[in-house]
Copies of this chain bind each other. A is one copy, B any other.
């Protein structure tokens, strides 16, 4: 299958995590999906070199690796461990042949209420990680996460904050991940997408829809494309207008989708992408 309308479509591995890596690769080939966003844990479990070969031999592009980050610790040992883990993530990204490592910055350390300090520690860590990544052909993409994750996962809640951090570094080193799930509510996001695009800092564009009620813990409630409140076509228009021509990755964490046949979910997701985003 070779559908030109799917040329920019990429499936994030987490969307169909019920598929093993070989199952995912086969399904992509059969369905004409050319891009995959991978996650470190399943890739490590399969073997990074082996995963790289599997994907490369199938002619697939690894659009992103998820994820590095968690750079907000104050404890020196924890900070050193986080830096080490991020160096490893960069190496893995390079091995997989992807140019983009997505960063989830990290939340507040236990007991801390200091958002500003946490954001500054991210910048400190980036000053170490960004040159290391660039030497290996890997760009870091700071992903602002929805403000509902501000305390425990990511103190970077808006594209404006992510760009304020990214702009301390060259664009080929540090940019942003634009994920509709995280930014859709933000009326400033379109102007920030323009700002990011003008500087060549949109390093990935990810789609998920917003559905309610949110589940306990709010991690696994991302809606299938077209099921929710987000005008995804409009957001694609924003990144188009900002000059972004790269892959468009669908990344869903959704218990209902995970309970279904993974190949069927992948086919449905590609179809939704065509219907709700492209056509």
- Whether B228 lies near A151 (C-beta < 8 A) is yes
Asked whether any CB of chain B lies closer than 8 Å to the CB of A61, the reply is no
Contact with B along A165-195 (1 / 0, CB 8 A): 0000000000000000000111110000000
Determine the distance from Cα of A231 to Cα of B112 in the docked complex, in whole angstroms. Answer: 9
Asked whether any CB of chain B lies closer than 8 Å to the CB of A279, the reply is no
- Whether B157 lies near A185 (C-beta < 8 A) is yes
- Whether B146 lies near A212 (C-beta < 8 A) is no
Determine the distance from Cα of A196 to Cα of B111 in the docked complex, in whole angstroms. Answer: 30
- Whether B214 lies near A217 (C-beta < 8 A) is yes
Determine the distance from Cα of A16 to Cα of B113 in the docked complex, in whole angstroms. Answer: 26
Known pairs A157-B186, A214-B217, A216-B216; A148 contacts B151 (CB<8 A): no
- Whether B228 lies near A187 (C-beta < 8 A) is no
Determine the distance from Cα of A217 to Cα of B231 in the docked complex, in whole angstroms. Answer: 22
Closest residue on chain B to residue A230 by CB atoms: B113
Q: Which of A223-260 contact B (CB under 8 A)?
A: 228-231, 234
Closest residue on chain B to residue A233 by CB atoms: B113
- Whether B229 lies near A113 (C-beta < 8 A) is yes
Asked whether any CB of chain B lies closer than 8 Å to the CB of A48, the reply is no
Determine the distance from Cα of A213 to Cα of B188 in the docked complex, in whole angstroms. Answer: 28
- Whether A148 lies near B218 (C-beta < 8 A) is yes
Known pairs A186-B147, A230-B113, A231-B113; A214 contacts B210 (CB<8 A): no
Determine the distance from Cα of A231 to Cα of B151 in the docked complex, in whole angstroms. Answer: 12
Contact with B along A3-35 (1 / 0, CB 8 A): 000000000000000000000000000000000
**Hey, which bits of chain A sit against chain B, CB under 8 A?**
108, 112-116, 146-148, 150-152, 157-158, 160-161, 184-188, 210, 212-218, 228-231, 234
Of all A-B residue pairs in the complex, the 9 with the closest CB atoms, nearest first, are A150-B185, A151-B229, A113-B231, A147-B185, A148-B148, A216-B216, A213-B217, A152-B212, A147-B147
